[in-house]
């Protein structure tokens, strides 16, 4: 049995809160300490039992064995630097959806080796402490980026922790991660945001959509409920990759437009047959 | 208790098969007779117990009390005309996703009054008899189009039937239906097809997507598995409305592109905040 740890979770929202719940269920933590600069979220995190206590970062770090950053990616570089400045040899992880800028920000930090950049491939369209879900990570993938820059003991510690959460660990470079994340996650959010804006623009009154909306519509616009505080920074940090995929996506949509305009039904059918190949990837 | 009917289902796939299953569960049918020009589907429909027997349209109609067309929308006008030519005073319904062309095709038919144009707002990305689901329609909406052109008794019969299925009946004109269907259903399919093609184009090897794909990605590309035999005709028949919404959607995506290119993060944030308003419509 592993020794219980004091775990500090910076950002007690959807991801941090879900991680906290699981730490508690698995009996890992001696004390779960939350850090959050939103007083309402801090209060909710206590009320919902996500953490045992809330503290400032300065108070929390000396008590911590493990520090997890689950805050919007634009906040990670600065907070991560402060954390690395303050730790001795504790392990520090982030859980952000982008990796290159975060890793670059601490590239030359003397405590760089204590940091492991991770991205658990789970989320929902909801946010804040009340969105936290127990056992959210079970069976999902977690990406470790540039893990060779992390000290062997810290890397092993993180690997053991995510394995115990039931996650598959995949290692890749930060550049590669950000490219693939644009394809499999970031573009889905943009299409969903844009689809919501399209329908809201076209159906100002909303009555007919409300009555007619079915599961298919809900499925494609669900992500449009996602938090701007989380998603604007992700799209900012992954701008180049996202633009590349977005340009391809607009060009694919133009093929559908052209088929309709030219009544080229044979090619329209081919485009749909080709899209059906996604069955190879999702089941 | 209502008298049991002989129900003929033309097209024993996703929609027709699901309707058949429910007729059986509710004990409505004396005999469920399937009609399908795909021999493999005909065999599956019997094996899966969707219908009691398969027949040709010519054999089935004289035995029918109710005839339901659940075939691709391009096939409906011709088959519907044949059915109306052959019936005496039985009730005929279709369940297609477009309505204007279908209704126009039989506008002057002497038996027009026996036909009720319906669109149950339910479906999945799967097709064929094996995709049929019992109790699929419960709690969903069904649209009746131009119902004032249907004889009062046939309209009341259809209303009673869909009410017993647990569906909310909404009446509207065919033109209005096709416009709203483009917004809440047809465009979702195009974005999903185009997203699948984008990702398949960008990620030729597929390994990374397979490993990293999460629930959010699956949600937005799920509809891309939908059948071309069903969807090419829908997009053909609703071309003008679909083009109109597709143009708006491409223009909404261009706003995201422009924000990224110009690093206009404030406007990007506004676009996401606006998209969040979809919460008013889906919960």
pLDDT in tens, B37-89: 999 999 999 999 999 999 999 999 999 999 999 999 999 999 999 999 999 99
Q: Is the pLDDT of residue A222 over 90?
A: yes
- Are B236 and A268 an interchain contact pair (Cβ–Cβ within 8 Å)? yes
Of A1, A192, A178, residue with least CA distance to A101: A178
Q: Of A221, A245, A275, which has the smallest distance from its Cβ to B193's Cβ?
A: A275
The verdict on B277 touching A (C-beta cutoff 8 Å) is yes
For chain B, the first-to-last Cα distance in angstroms comes to 38
Q: Of A199, A215, A231, which has the smallest distance from its Cβ to B272's Cβ?
A: A231
Q: Is the pLDDT of residue A1 over 90?
A: no
> Given this model, what pLDDT does residue B205 score?
64
Q: Kindly list the residues from chain B whose CB atom is less than 8 angstroms away from the CB atom of residue A141.
A: 211-212, 214
The verdict on B261 touching A (C-beta cutoff 8 Å) is yes
DSSP secondary structure letters along A221-277: HGGGGS-HHHHHHHHHHTHHHHHHHHHHHHHHHHHHHHHHHHT-HHHHHHHHHHHGG
Taking a C-beta distance cutoff of 8 angstroms, is the pair B233, B78 a contact? no
How far, CA to CA in Å, does B225 sit from each of A35, A269, B220? 43, 13, 11
- A214 — pLDDT class (breaks 50, 70, 90): confident
The verdict on A175 touching B (C-beta cutoff 8 Å) is no
Read off the DSSP letter of residue A48. Answer: T
Each residue of B113-162: pLDDT tens digit?
A: 999 999 999 999 999 999 999 989 999 999 999 999 999 999 999 999 99
Of B193, B243, B271, B28, residue with least CA distance to A224: B271
Region of A135 (left: φ > 0; alpha: ψ -120 to 50; beta: rest) is: left
**What residues 95-154 of chain B have any CB closer than 8 A to a CB of chain A?**
121-125, 140-141, 143
What would the two tokens of residue B178 be? 């096709």
Q: Is the pLDDT of residue B3 over 80?
A: no
Each residue of B205-229: pLDDT tens digit?
A: 667 677 788 788 889 999 999 999 9
Of A275, A279, A232, A236, residue with least CA distance to A253: A275
Each residue of A157-210: pLDDT tens digit?
A: 999 999 999 999 999 999 999 999 999 899 999 999 999 999 998 877 667 777
Tell me how many residue pairs between chain A and chain B have CB atoms under 8 A apart. Answer: 309
Each residue of A101-127: pLDDT tens digit?
A: 999 999 999 999 999 999 999 999 999
DSSP secondary structure letters along chain B: -PPPEEEEEE--SHHHHHHHHHHHHTT-EEEEEEE-S-HHHHHHHHHTTS-SEE--HHHHGGG-SEEEE-S-TTTHHHHHHHHHHH-SS-EEEE--S--HHHHHHTTT-TTGGGEEEEEES---S--SGGG--TT-STT-EEEEESGGGS-HHHHHHHHHHHHHTTPEEEEE-HHHHHHHHIIIIIHHHHHHHHHHHHHHHH-SS-HHHHHH--HHHHHHHGGGGS-HHHHHHHHHHTHHHHHHHHHHHHHHHHHHHHHHHHT-HHHHHHHHHHHGGGGGT--
Q: Of A228, A261, A275, which has the smallest distance from its Cβ to B243's Cβ?
A: A261
Q: Kindly list the residues from chain B whose CB atom is less than 8 angstroms away from the CB atom of residue A126.
A: none
Q: Kindly list the residues from chain B whose CB atom is less than 8 angstroms away from the CB atom of residue A215.
A: 122-124
Element (H, E) at A9: strand A5-10
Do the bridges between strand B66-69 and strand B91-94 make them parallel or antiparallel, or are there none, so unpaired?
parallel
> Given this model, what pLDDT does residue B1 score?
39
- A213 — pLDDT class (breaks 50, 70, 90): confident
**What residues 57-96 of chain A have any CB closer than 8 A to a CB of chain B?**
none
For chain A, the first-to-last Cα distance in angstroms comes to 38
Domains of chain B, with CATH numbers?
A: 5-172 (3.40.50.720), 177-280 (1.10.3660.10)
How far, CA to CA in Å, does A232 sit from each of A148, A179, B256, B266, B267? 29, 17, 11, 9, 10
- Tell me which chain B residue has its CA closest to the CA of residue A226: B276
> Given this model, what pLDDT does residue A171 score?
96
What would the two tokens of residue A98 be? 């982008």
What would the two tokens of residue B266 be? 């404030």
- Higher-pLDDT residue of A125, A258: A258
- Are A275 and B211 an interchain contact pair (Cβ–Cβ within 8 Å)? no
Q: Of A123, A184, A236, which has the smallest distance from its Cβ to B265's Cβ?
A: A236
Q: How far apart are CA A7 and CA A33, in angstroms?
A: 6
Per the prediction, chain A carries an average pLDDT of 94
Region of B264 (left: φ > 0; alpha: ψ -120 to 50; beta: rest) is: beta
What value of ipTM does the predicted structure carry? 0.92
B17: CB partners within 8 A, 6+ apart? B9, B45, B48, B50, B128, B129, B131, B132
Taking a C-beta distance cutoff of 8 angstroms, is the pair A200, B228 a contact? no
Largest CA distance in chain B: 68
How far, CA to CA in Å, does A270 sit from each of A255, A267, B118, B203, B223? 11, 5, 29, 19, 16
Using a pLDDT cut of 70, give the percent of chain A over it: 97
A158: CB partners within 8 A, 6+ apart? A91, A93, A116, A118, A144, A150
- Crossing angle, helix B265-275 and helix A187-202, to 10 degrees? 60
- B177 — pLDDT class (breaks 50, 70, 90): very high
Taking a C-beta distance cutoff of 8 angstroms, is the pair B237, B101 a contact? yes
pTM, two decimal places: 0.91
Q: How far apart are CA A84 and CA B162, in angstroms?
A: 64
């Amino acid at each position: 049995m592993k020794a219980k740890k004091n775990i500090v979770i910076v950002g007690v929202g959807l991801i941090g809160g879900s991680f906290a719940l699981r730490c508690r269920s698995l009996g890992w933590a001696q004390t779960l300490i939350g850090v959050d600069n939103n007083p309402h979220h801090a209060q909710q995190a206590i009320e919902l039992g996500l953490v045992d206590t809330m503290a400032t970062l300065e108070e929390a770090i000396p008590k911590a064995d493990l520090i997890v950053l689950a805050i919007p990616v634009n906040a990670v570089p600065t907070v991560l630097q402060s954390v690395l400045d303050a730790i001795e040899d504790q392990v520090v992880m982030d859980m952000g959806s982008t990796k290159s800028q975060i890793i670059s920000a601490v590239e030359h930090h003397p405590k760089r080796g204590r940091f492991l950049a991770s991205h658990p491939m789970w989320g929902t369209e909801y946010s804040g402490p009340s969105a936290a879900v127990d056992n959210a990570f079970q069976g999902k993938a977690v990406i470790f980026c540039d893990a060779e820059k992390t000290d062997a003991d810290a890397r092993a510690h993180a690997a053991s922790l995510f394995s115990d959460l039931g996650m598959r660990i995949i290692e890749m470079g930060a550049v590669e991660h950000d490219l693939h994340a644009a394809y499999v996650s970031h573009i889905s959010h943009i299409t969903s945001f844009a689809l919501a804006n399209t329908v809201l623009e076209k159906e100002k009154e909303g009555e007919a959509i409300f009555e007619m909306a079915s599961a298919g519509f809900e499925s494609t616009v669900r992500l449009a409920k996602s938090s701007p505080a989380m998603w604007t920074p992700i799209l900012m940090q992954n701008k180049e990759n996202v633009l590349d995929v977005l340009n391809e996506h607009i060009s694919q949509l133009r093929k559908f437009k052209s088929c309709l305009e030219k009544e080229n039904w044979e090619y329209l059918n081919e485009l749909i047959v080709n899209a059906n190949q996604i069955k190879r990837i999702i089941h």
